[in-house]
Structure 1
Amino acid sequence: MTVGILLVTHEGIGTALAAVATTLLRTLPLRVEVFEVPFEGDPDALLPQASAALRRADGGDGVLVLTDLYGATPSNLAARLARLGTPVRRISALSLPMLLRVLNYPELTLDDLPAVAAAGARNGVLHDDA
């Protein structure tokens, strides 16, 4: 059993990040599902589809939900998913370094992965004066 990953993002972001991660790693060590929220999407109407994506992502040990922008509709929808019963941890500010970092630690627990995700995001930001 493993932790699953669910990317809940605005349109185009989650799919693109998952595609790049798959290209770089070839085989993803954790199950990754993407749920993209249309810009005019109704969160109430989208909740059943998002819930189905959460269930697909769950590898038996819960789901790490990564969202792109805290406080936006995808993040708010992710908060609702966290109350449905599946063990969930949520992290916002999704980036490629964050996703790759998480995927490099498939043996970690759901409780340990949020810190790894946050470290991946922080360490992925570099100020280059060149």
Structure 2
Amino acid sequence: MVGIVLITHGTLGESLMRAAAHTLGKPLEHVEHVSVGAVDIPELVLARVERAMARVDDGGGVLILTDMFGATPANVASRVLQDGRVEGLSGANLPMLVRAIAHRDLPLAVVVEKAQGGGTTGVVYMNRDKCCGER
């Protein structure tokens, strides 16, 4: 099973986890979040990430989801990535997390692909004509 670690600003990761558990109708297993605050020292965040990874990894690899590429969460994540063992995606959203959880029994590379697809297709321009029909 692929473990999942969210590294996000503030409480975004925790909120995404709660929303995913609600959406899926079950508690999440092998999913953790690491919050990054405005005054957090990256080295200390890195240590928290490494501990979270150790807790969720049962041998199937780890997928790290971050909220924004180029920001501290993604910069910290880039320090622990290992091709085929620890992979990362930025731009985390609820469809991305739900898709990752739904497919986590597949190989890590497939979970990455599914999660990225979920995150991308989950971003939809909504206007009255496209989403709401006649009013």
Match of 1:71, as an amino acid?
G
Distance 2:112 2:27 in 1: 18
Which residue is equivalent to 1:74?
A: 73
Q: What is the match of residue 100 of structure 1? A: 98
Q: CA deviation at 1:125?
A: 1.3
Shift of 1:45: 2.4
Is the CA contact 1:66–1:91 (under 8 Å) kept in the aligned structure 2?
yes
Residue 111 of structure 1 aligns to a residue whose secondary structure is: helix
Q: Which residue of 1 aligns with 2:60?
A: 61
| 2:124 equivalent in structure 1 | 126
Measured after TM superposition, the shift of residue 106 of structure 1 is 2.5
The CA RMSD over aligned residues, in Å, is 1.8
Secondary structure at the aligned position of 2:38 is classed as coil
Stretch moving more, 33-42 or 23-32: 23-32
CA change 1:6–1:69 in 2 (3 A) is same
Tell me how many residue pairs correspond in the alignment.
Answer: 128
Query: Whole-Å Cα distance in 1 between the matches of residues 97 and 4 of structure 2?
Result: 9
- 2-side partners of 1:28 and 1:108: how far apart? 19
Counting aligned pairs with the same residue, the percent is: 35
Distance 1:48 1:107 in 2: 27
Question: Which of 89, 92, 104 does residue 91 from structure 1 map onto?
Answer: 89
Structure 2 unaligned residues grouped into runs of 5+: 129-135
Structure 1: gaps (5+ residues): none
- Give 1:39 shift: 1.5
Q: Deviations over 1:66-113 (max 9, x none)?
A: 000001000011111225x99200000000011111111122111111
Residue aligning to 2:133: none
TM-score (norm 2): 0.87
Q: Which has the larger radius of gyration?
A: 2
Q: Could you list the runs of 4 or more consecutive aligned residues of structure 1 that deviate by over 2 angstroms after TM superposition?
A: 26-30
